[in-house]
Structure 1
Amino acid sequence: MLEMFVQSSVARPLLLAAIFCIVALSASLILFGFNRRYAVRTQLRDLAGDLEIAPTSRRLRSREVEGAWARLAAAVEAAGLNLADTNSERLTQKLRAAGFNSPSAPRIYTLVRLVLIFAVPLGYVMLSYSGGQPPSFLRLYVIGSLLAVLGLLLPGLYVQARADRRKEAIINGFPDCLDLLLVCVESGLGLEAAMDRVGREMVISQPAVAQLLSITVLQLRAGASREEAFRKLASASAVDEIQSFTTLLIQSDRLGSSISSTLRVYAAEMREKRRMRAEEKAHRLPVLISIPLVVCMLPVMIGTLMLPAVVMVVRQVFPLMLGR
């Protein structure tokens, strides 16, 4: 019976197809199981890498780049060009507000501005002469001067934009930081240990807030008093909310009041401010939407409504006025 089934021209292809389907299904199930385990392991490895390896590697790369720029600035100063700014204290505060905490940041900033003054016009001149017909001297002079001014202003605009983004990130992430600090303090941790714990937990979600907390913890461990460390925190953040928070902590420390009560009240206030900012942005949406509505849609609607009347006037009224 089996030999007849095998030798049959109809049954044999069906048998081979069934065997092939069974083997393919079994192999697919086995591969699916291995792929699922590999995907889970990959996700766990990526998560561990994000928590430990990635921040360290980013810090190392940023330090290498920063060290290269610092060495270049030192070489330029050694050649006889002074990169010190006349108002170095204000420039240092501006760069710290943007997240540049290196002591050599003001010199690097001055060097970048100096390089861009000459690099941007030189690039335009090279592109102009690479074409078929070179421009006139007057055009080169005017456009080169404008590009030199642009190169002088670009670093300041970049630093200001980065400072604004950093300030916004700190303001948005600080209420969550206060909630975590409140939980840690109420669970029995001291303020220093709570700030250390929250700073390590918020490395991925809010790196700017985590950096501020970590610097404050390191200053406290180095022997600085709480008042000095908190004042440096307020100065480094350049955010009104954190300055008010540090003032409350200093007063609570002086008066001996409960830190958890202070954190609870201020956390509720910060959450309320964040909700009010969200409502303010929501109320601004109709005004912002009306701008493209008026610019783009209103002329089209007016043209659609007025075009038939214009056509009728051209066809009927103008001939009557001309006596035709």
Structure 2
Amino acid sequence: MKYISALLFGVFFGCIVYMGLDLLYRKRIIINKRLRMAMNQSDSDEADANASFSARILKPLSNRLLGFFAMFVPLSATAQEKLTAQLMQAEIRMSAKNYSAAVLLLSIVCAGAGVLVGQLLGKPPLTSALFGAVGIYAGVALSRFQLKGKISRRKDEIYHQMPDALDLLSVSVAAGLGFDQALSYVVRKSEGALIREFDTVQREISLGRSRKEAMERLAERCGSIEIQTFVSAILQADEMGASIKNVLQIQAATIRETHKQNVEEKMQKLSVKMLIPMVLFIFPVLLIVLLGPAVPSIIQALGSMG
């Protein structure tokens, strides 16, 4: 009976939250609909109608829910700037407030799961509350681990794409293209995290942003030392009037040589890292295979000596 009551209470609470969000965002929804009708966006309406259930229902509802919880998240300006930079480096298209609200929701869900586990195990209320506190910590730790992991994987992807991308960019400039045209050519011919960032730089420049500002934003989004070095070299060449072709050739050769040295260093470390699994898993098996048949003879010899 108590589970049915809890389920009914959850449904009732969800309806209250949905009604509150609908009242909160009703004016904005009406304005967006009027703008669509005024702009005659029949194609976009047809695309929305053909979109999946998650894109039409779940995603807008989750965005509204995050926007509602974001109002209750205390976030200072410094912490918001830091989190925004981390989200850009992880390529997460979400504001710092909404991400903090998502972390809050995840922590609440984990806390509820911890309390529910405590109740199912028949623990006292204090122990169940302790399970809930552990769930809150697990939600925060899981979100931070996921964010750091995305940043690390994206930096590695950008680092491994840099030699080929810079080589293609250098060859394009040497063939007579300007820097912006060469960047557009690289974007058309390649794909990956670094190529998406180059595409963003190209779009920002085409929309009127200066090359210096667009490249500085590129270094900020990537958060990589190699990208920062590349951006500094390009901007310095622009300011001093040097040839971008020579700068790109030097940068491409330097990045490729550095990448080669890092790969060779990792290969040399493999022999040392392989000792641990060999000692733990391979050598004991070899000893069993080699000495196993001799164990009965050894035991029999020791028994005869006694």
Q: TM-score, normalised by structure 1?
A: 0.68
Check the 8 A contact 2:219/2:231 in 1, yes or no.
yes
Aligned-residue CA RMSD (Å): 3.1
2:270 is matched with: 285
Report percent identity of matched pairs: 28
Give the match's secondary structure for 1:87: helix
Extract unaligned runs of 5+ from structure 1.
1-56
Counterpart amino acid of residue 66 in structure 2: A
2:111 is matched with: 121
Give the match's secondary structure for 1:189: coil
Matches within 5 A, 1:146-165: 146-165=134-153
1-side partners of 2:263 and 2:61: how far apart? 42
Check the 8 A contact 1:120/1:147 in 2, yes or no.
yes
Deviation at 1:300, TM superposition (A): 3.7
1-side partners of 2:183 and 2:218: how far apart? 12
Deviates more, 1:306-315 or 1:149-158: 306-315
Counterpart amino acid of residue 182 in structure 1: S
Alignment of 1:180 onto 2:168: yes
Check the 8 A contact 1:83/1:110 in 2, yes or no.
no
**Greater Rg, structure 1 or structure 2?**
1
Alignment of 1:110 onto 2:103: no
1:89 is matched with: 81
Count of equivalent residues = 254
Deviates more, 1:222-231 or 1:286-295: 222-231
Alignment of 1:74 onto 2:62: no
**Per-residue Cα deviation, 1:21-70 (whole angstroms, up to 9, x for no partner):** xxxxxxxxxxxxxxxxxxxxxxxxxxxxxxxxxxxx99xx9899776544
1-side partners of 2:128 and 2:188: how far apart? 54
Counterpart amino acid of residue 189 in structure 1: L
Check the 8 A contact 1:231/1:246 in 2, yes or no.
yes
Check the 8 A contact 2:159/2:226 in 1, yes or no.
yes
2-side partners of 1:262 and 1:185: how far apart? 10
1:32 is matched with: none
Return closer, same or farther for 1:141/1:108 CA change in 2, 3 Å cut-off.
Answer: same
Which residue of 219, 222, 242 maps to 1:237?
Answer: 222
Extract unaligned runs of 5+ from structure 2.
1-49
Counterpart amino acid of residue 296 in structure 1: F
Q: TM-score, normalised by structure 2?
A: 0.71
2-side partners of 1:137 and 1:240: how far apart? 51
2-side partners of 1:242 and 1:83: how far apart? 33
